Chain A
Amino acid sequence: MTGPGAGSPLARAKRRAALPFLLPLIVTLLLVAGWPLLRTVWLSLTDARLEAGLAPHFVGIANYTYLLSDPEWWSAVRNTVVFAVTSVALETVLGVLIALALNEKMRGRGILRAAMLIPWAIPTVVAAQMWNWMLHDQYGVVNQALLALGVVQDPVAFTADPDLALWTVIAVDVWKATPFMVLLSLAALQLLPDEIYEAAEIDGLGPVGRFFRITLPLIRPALMVAVTFRSLDALRVFDLMYILTGNSAAAASMSVYARQHLVDFQDVGYGSAAATALFLMIAALTSLLVIAGRIQAAPEEDDR
């Protein structure tokens, strides 16, 4: 904004000319993103219900005070955070490990890379339903296999058992989203020239040192972008839980909670308050990650 000649007549004319070109985009964004957002925030301050004919009344922050006192909401917050942190951490570690393996020159690498992408390519709803059947406690192939191998004596109710439901959802998410991490890590790895490793080899750097001293610092910017994307996805997770565990409080996320109140209980005002709270949390986290990213992009202090 303060580049050379920012105040020159030409630069001012250019800025003036930009506005009419940007206007259609700004108007569209305001209509499709701004309006629904403001509408949701407004509804969250009312007692609106889905039934027709009832005019909503302004109730102030009553919905929010109730929300903050509802243990089910806090259980949904806890589930969402556990889900997001665990699944993104596992996906990152597994993703980098698989990317490192796929980056090695070996026979059949192309086929492996393509095959690895399949879980990511399947629509979430389809994948979740597929796992739902595979994990079924009566007819599921997973229980059949575990019983046949003698790992378990009785079938395990993966999605119905409150102690297992959340971890089952996490496992399916890891299966589904790890390819995304592999893809972004692999793209970053392929940009690293062989010579920087050879230069380190002359200094006797072993494989572990190679990874922590050279590979990881160099792929970290790409990895941070991938982690940010995945974290935002994970925080608003809905479809996996809805299909695998329904409205079960043991695994319900904030989105599941909001939908339940909005649609099942037809409580638009209260559901909007939950949705707004979720939105605020994601917005805060995004700002944090962007700021953290900026700090890391700036030259670091001597970290020896």
Chain B
Amino acid sequence: MSAQGVDVEGVSFGYGATRVLEDVSLSIRKGEFFAFLGPSGSGKTTLLRLIAGFGTPDRGRILIGGRDMTRTPPWSRNVGLVFQNYALWPHMTVAQNVAFGLERRRVPRAERDRRVRAALDMVGLAHLIDRRPAQLSGGQQQRVAIARTLAIEPEVLLLDEPLSNLDAALRAGVRQELVELQRRLGLTTILVTHDQEEANAAADRMAVLDGGRVLQMGTPTELYDRPANRFVASFLGTANLIDGTVEGGVFRAGGITLALREPATPGRATLALRPQAIRLHRDASGGALAARVLRTEFLGGHVRYTLELQEGQQLTTEEVHLRGRDPLAPGGGVQLEIDPQQVSIL
């Protein structure tokens, strides 16, 4: 069953004895903005390169638009790839860079000029048409790379860490432009990134990869709210992972006893606790756990605390900072409460 965007079916890949991808399967819908998220060495870039046609999987198939492209060379796949370092040709002008793919595809001169202009208009760089890459800023080069890819009107747009070479101030703006452009064109897009914020903000759905496997797939909120395992829980935002047991719908670990709202299989289990699942009480009130403040980090909008329960269990939590509410001093005591609505059992 194909999603008509990109289908990866049981793909394995390795260099000699080094396994890079292990039985990876995923379906990307037509017009979807999809992200491969993972740390370096997770295999996310290799997977993207296999989709682009740089390398052939040892096992499995890759379908683009429902057609088997596993052994098709890159130039026959109709994919566009934006490289991490942009890979613009330094000896060509912006216009020549963008026109190159059209020239190779024997697009007539007039049509070619029109499409070069249209692609550069789309990224707002039509006025820099005669510059060379070295005369452009990083953000502008990146947009030329995108325009070059869009000019060939690919079926799938592949982005390999496209924002990682931009400075932080520029990154959010370019990311928003990229998402708007993708929505407007309805172009099936795959973004490779190690930055969870980037994936969360841009992608409709994403896959978290580690050690060459897909650990979990879903929308950013699904993955954040219901991580399937310890890696996903801690890779996407902050999570306290507490080992304990589930019995009769109640989770127990050390001093923590929590009545679960959702059914959980009895036995050994790990509780994933986001910082916002913990509420702090400065005055002793009933039903709360007693803890000691180990570390206080004032971060402006909020304060991060490392707390220690009486049983030695450590928890990280955050509290919105308000004027008139001074951060808790390290060494002091505090009462805390866990919201059973906000926890997941792994």
Residues of chain A whose beta carbon lies under 8 Å from any beta carbon of chain B: 193, 195-196, 198-205, 214, 217-218, 299, 302, 304
Interface 0/1 of B70-106, CB less than 8 Å to A: 0001111001110111011111010010001100110
Across-interface contacts of A198 in B (CB, < 8 A): 54, 74, 81, 83, 87
Q: In whole angstroms, how far apart are the Cα atoms of A302 and B130 in the complex?
A: 9
Contact of B100 among A195, A203, A217 (CB under 8 A): A203
Complex contact A196–B101 (CB within 8 A): no
Complex contact A202–B75 (CB within 8 A): yes
State whether the Cβ of B272 lies closer than 8 Å to any Cβ in chain A.
Answer: no
Across-interface contacts of B88 in A (CB, < 8 A): 196, 199
Q: In whole angstroms, how far apart are the Cα atoms of A205 and B103 in the complex?
A: 11
Contact of B74 among A195, A202, A217, A302 (CB under 8 A): A202
Minimum Cβ distance to chain A for residue B130 (Å)? 8
A-B contact pairs, 30 of them (CB 8 A): A193-B85, A195-B83, A195-B84, A195-B87, A196-B88, A196-B89, A198-B83, A199-B81, A199-B87, A199-B89, A201-B73, A201-B74, A201-B75, A202-B53, A202-B79, A202-B101, A203-B75, A203-B100, A203-B101, A203-B104, A203-B152, A204-B75, A204-B104, A204-B105, A205-B104, A214-B89, A214-B91, A218-B89, A218-B90, A302-B96
Across-interface contacts of A203 in B (CB, < 8 A): 75, 100-101, 104-105, 152
Interface 0/1 of B14-56, CB less than 8 Å to A: 0000000000000000000000000000000000000011100
Closest 4 CB pairs of A and B: A204-B75, A195-B87, A203-B104, A217-B91
| Interface residue tally on B, bucketed by range | 20 to 34
Q: In whole angstroms, how far apart are the Cα atoms of A217 and B91 in the complex?
A: 7
Across-interface contacts of B81 in A (CB, < 8 A): 198-199, 202
Q: In whole angstroms, how far apart are the Cα atoms of A195 and B91 in the complex?
A: 15
Complex contact B100–A202 (CB within 8 A): no
Complex contact A299–B132 (CB within 8 A): yes
Complex contact A196–B75 (CB within 8 A): no
Q: In whole angstroms, how far apart are the Cα atoms of A204 and B101 in the complex?
A: 8
Interface 0/1 of B51-63, CB less than 8 Å to A: 0111000000000
Known A203-B100, A304-B96: A195·B105 in contact at CB below 8 Å: no
CB closest chain-B residue, reference A218: B91
